[in-house]
Amino acid sequence: MSFNSEIADIFEQMAGLLELTGANKFRVNAHAKASRVIKDLTTDLEPLAKAEDIKELVKLEGIGKGTATKLVELARTGCIAEHEELSAKVPTGVMAVMEVQGLGPKTVKMLWEEKGVESIDDLKKIIADGSIMDLPRMGAKTVENIRASIEFLEAGGTRLHIGLAQRVADRFVELLENTRGTERVAFAGSLRRGRETIGDVDILVVTKDPDAAREAFTSAEEVTQVLASGETKCSIRMSMSPTDRRFKGYEYVVQVDLRIVPKDSWGAALMYFTGSKEHNVRLRERAIKRGMTLNEYGLFEDDGSDPTPPQQRGVKPIASKTEESIYKALEMPFIPPTMREDRGEMSLTEPVQVVEVADIKAELHSHTTASDGKMTIEESAEIAKSRGYHTLAITDHSQSSAVAGGLKPDRLREHMAAVREADKTIKGIKLLAGSEVDILVDGSLDYDDELLHELDVVVASPHVGLKAKPAQATKRLLKAIRHPMVHIIGHPTGRLIERRPGLEPDMNELIAAAIEHDVALEINAHWMRLDLRDTHVRAAVEAGALISINCDDHSPGDYDNIRFGVLTAQRGWLTPERCINTWSAKKLHGWLKSKR
């Protein structure tokens, strides 16, 4: 684990421990924010912390003097005294209880102090013997929901990859679109914001027949449990099996919430339930400064002196039907959902035209049956053509990736000839003969320079040695970036979300080198990778680097993953002109040839 990851985890734990020990909200929020800030940083904090350079640390956005002092303390002693003291006050298992959905810090604190609940097993015992009912606000329905949440957690009900959550959302959106009375339906929450992992899936619907919507939602065949079925909100748990071969035999459980919202409040509700929490707080603060109130029903002219919500007093909203109208009334440009994370978007005075799926005109990282792909050259070309792409690069694996059928030099040359022959016969798209070339552990490439020069496209990617320390990882990737034949650095960290952390290089050094050597950094669009991640993209965009969004296609369905790569790009504020996949054929091919 890198120093940044370690300190971010510690601050996150401290926020939870402070909540449990009754600290004021300011301290809790300060530690939670510090954790988020550090997770987003692309600068390696360890050298500055070891040098005890507090002046340089506080120059980093979001790092205050208190946080910097703790960073130095961790680097010097290997721990943070306040964290150790807090941890000594709270049994380890109590933190695990906080993972149970529906249990906030106050309830967990009450369970711990009044019933001695110090673990999930302790909680299960007081549910089984009924003594949990002795506590305030613990009715039969509440206890049943806690029991269900424990089962959900123990069944693997954790955060889902965005690709899996998207299938769930698409399933229910389609179901409700075909239900009697539905006028509008959409998914919201962190999924709409393009987060790489998702907790609950949120669905919003406007309907003339709420009973039909509730019935369709709660009786879907995949539903395993109905948690609630109220007038405006329904919650279910469902089970699905992924189709992806890497999840063979795996079944996942997810909670899905349905909100039935008034037609005139659609925009306000969509904004509210999309979040993020931090963005919504900033919007409400902005509204208050202008003598207004913002909630899930709309934006109202209201000074807040009456505690009764304005919609209940018959106050008509200034804006509510669309998100655009609310931002306009707050004197802001429209903020795309993917940018609503309180990462500077509140200061924008002009809209950011982020890249869209429709802007993508080339796929520059794909595999065929020549290595470990499931498509022939011709089959892949037809899919790319159907999407309106002008260019497809065939980039099968290099020789060191033996498990993936990597090509020895002679086989690669034969494959290059086959790609170029196909390019002559397939009309309407340009096929390029490339390779995904392994970056070896010392930073050298998997083919000699003579062979690399013959390739139209070189995507250099790390596949082994993914546990290297940050300094070593940085050195290795810098060597590949500086190689004159390299066009793109593919999935630069090699991570697999929730499975493998991958390399943790100094991204600022890599970005600077990529700019200097005119190399594009890839967002690998597969939902298990999303590498570069969003914060890396943001740093690259701010510095002026080039980005390539590729699907790393192995089978026909992989082309659909472009939506996730684009969402990640949007979260990093990427505009079309900085994304080489959006360029015209003339501009793209000219750039590729400039390295030959």
Q: What is the DSSP string of 176-202?
A: HHTSTTEEEEEE-HHHHTT-SEESSEE
CATH number for region 266-347: 3.30.210.10
What phi and psi, each to the nearest 5 degrees, are found at residue 405? 70, 35
CA–CA separation, 49 and 573 (whole Å): 29
Fold classification of 3-89 (topology level): DNA polymerase; domain 1 (1.10.150)
**Cβ-contact 304, 291 below 8 angstroms:** no
pLDDT in tens, 151-184: 777 765 568 899 999 999 999 999 999 999 999 9
Q: Is residue 13 classed as helix, strand or coil in its secondary structure?
A: helix
Task: For 398-477, list the strands marked E by DSSP.
Answer: 430-438, 457-461
Residue 172, pLDDT score: 96
User: What pairs with residue 442 in β-bridges?
Assistant: none
Residue 28, pLDDT score: 87
List the Cα angle 138/97/23 in 5-degree steps. 90
Residues of the chain with CATH 1.10.150.110: 3-89
Indicate the DSSP class of residue 502.
Answer: -
Residue 156, pLDDT score: 58
* Residues 160-260, CATH architecture: 2-Layer Sandwich (3.30)
**Cβ-contact 467, 429 below 8 angstroms:** no
Torsion of CA 63, 64, 69, 71, to 10 degrees: -10
* Residues 357-593, CATH architecture: Alpha-Beta Barrel (3.20)
Indicate the DSSP class of residue 316.
Answer: P
Give the strands of the sheet with 520-524, arranged side by side: 362-363, 391-397, 430-438, 457-461, 488-489, 520-524, 546-550
Distances (CA, A) of 519 to 31, 425, 592: 37, 31, 10
Give the side-chain half-sphere CA count within 13 A for 564. Answer: 29
Would you tell me how many other CB atoms lie within 10 Å of the CB of residue 341? 24
Would you tell me how many other CB atoms lie within 10 Å of the CB of residue 149? 20
Handedness of CA 412, 416, 419, 425 (dihedral sign): negative
Q: Is residue 223 classed as helix, strand or coil in its secondary structure?
A: strand
Would you tell me how many other CB atoms lie within 10 Å of the CB of residue 79? 12
**Cβ-contact 161, 196 below 8 angstroms:** yes
Residue 139, pLDDT score: 87
Fold classification of 92-154 (topology level): DNA polymerase; domain 1 (1.10.150)
CA–CA separation, 193 and 188 (whole Å): 8
pLDDT in tens, 494-508: 999 988 899 999 999
Residues of the chain with CATH 3.20.20.140: 357-593
Where the chain has pLDDT below 70, the residues are 1, 155-158, 241-251
Residues of the chain with CATH 1.10.150.20: 92-154
Residues of the chain with CATH 3.30.210.10: 266-347
